[in-house]
Amino acid sequence: MAQISGIPVEYIGDMRGVDVTSVLSIGGISTSSIPGWPSGRGCITLSLGYASEPPIPQVCRNPRDNYEFDLNTNVLFNIGEPCGGAPAPDGFYSNGRTIYSWFLGVWNIVGPC
């Protein structure tokens, strides 16, 4: 059980009136790396098409698969992997409306389909 100043993190509900789910770091350490820290957010399933290389617009028409996306860390996980599993491969992704790039663990919006 993780503790901060001797207090178990699950007992921390607010810090001087600030909801703990809005605290993203303490002393430069990401709260997402503290086991048990209440994030208020989790993983969601995204249905995305994938292309490993250009032409980028092709990704908008590619078949979609379900990927897990961690809202705390902005990490996209590979098909069939749970949150915390293997990251998705680098490339371009689309939900049919917007094109995203995922390279070296960085998630960016490329533009509309």
pTM, to two decimals: 0.63
**What distance in Å separates the CA atoms of residue 19 and residue 22, rounded to the nearest whole number?**
6
- Exposed e or buried b for every residue in 17-49, given b needs 16+ CB within 10 A? eeebeeeeeeeeeebbebeebebeeebeebebb
Please answer whether residues 21 and 64 qualify as being in contact, where contact means their C-beta atoms are separated by less than 8 angstroms: no
Please answer whether residues 56 and 8 qualify as being in contact, where contact means their C-beta atoms are separated by less than 8 angstroms: no
Return the pLDDT at 48.
Answer: 94
- What are 49-76's pLDDT values in tens digits? 999 988 788 899 999 999 998 877 788 9
Residue 12 confidence (pLDDT) above 90? no
- What are 87-99's pLDDT values in tens digits? 999 999 999 999 9
